[in-house]
Structure 1
């Protein structure tokens, strides 16, 4: 059953990536769409896994369907590297360096932010009257 969850999530993630790429595209040859997709994916995946492990346990098929399937298909390491190669090949050194640094350091920063947000949210607890309070 987990294969079905990954396949469904992958289908939806790939469709979402294609749609966003069509909407955002590039700006003066700079691959804005892929950069934003990969940064968002880094943030969401780190937040999702941390939050669902710390605060809101969910069924493993949902976790793998969304994490491995949707986010795995939504983000793309191969496109990132093809676009980096294209910038390099065309002599766009500044754009190459900016994209490389923004993608890798930005991805790490977004993953850290996602993790931090989920950990902050996981410290909230629900009291009997249904209000959230900090621990």
Structure 2
């Protein structure tokens, strides 16, 4: 279990660094979350293909690191903000890119 906690802490720090860096660009679009979730899906696909689900490596990097790195909660907060601001086009594009992009990235990771 320490593997999972250690991995989650590292993943959260990496996510924080990426998000902080991206905010400096002052782009009014949730690119940081999209990037994090798609790259996380890809990396999790690679891990899933190569390690058993209960192996120490999978617990550290898959469950822990990727669990701390990717962010479903931020994704949902951003969607709710778009609904509140009536940014329907952005909402639709963001949903499509996130779900389709994440699925395609995971499949690509599984194929490596």
Shorter-chain TM-score above 0.5: yes
Report the counterpart of residue 42 of structure 1 in structure 2.
41
CA RMSD, aligned part only? 1.5
Please say which structure displays the higher CA radius of gyration.
1
Q: CA deviation at 1:29?
A: 2.0
More strand by share: 1
Mark the runs of 5 or more structure 1 residues left unpaired by the alignment: 54-58, 118-135
Q: How far apart, CA to CA, are the structure 2 residues paired with 1:24 and 1:76?
A: 15
Aligned length: 110
SS of 1:100 mapped into structure 2? helix
The structure where helix makes up a greater share of residues is 2
Partner of 1:102: 97
Distance 2:71 2:100 in 1: 16
Q: CA deviation at 1:27?
A: 5.5
1:123-134, aligned counterparts within 5 Å?
A: none
Counterpart of 1:30 in 2: which secondary structure? Answer: coil
Higher relative contact order (CA 8 A, sep 6+): 2
TM-score by length of 2: 0.91
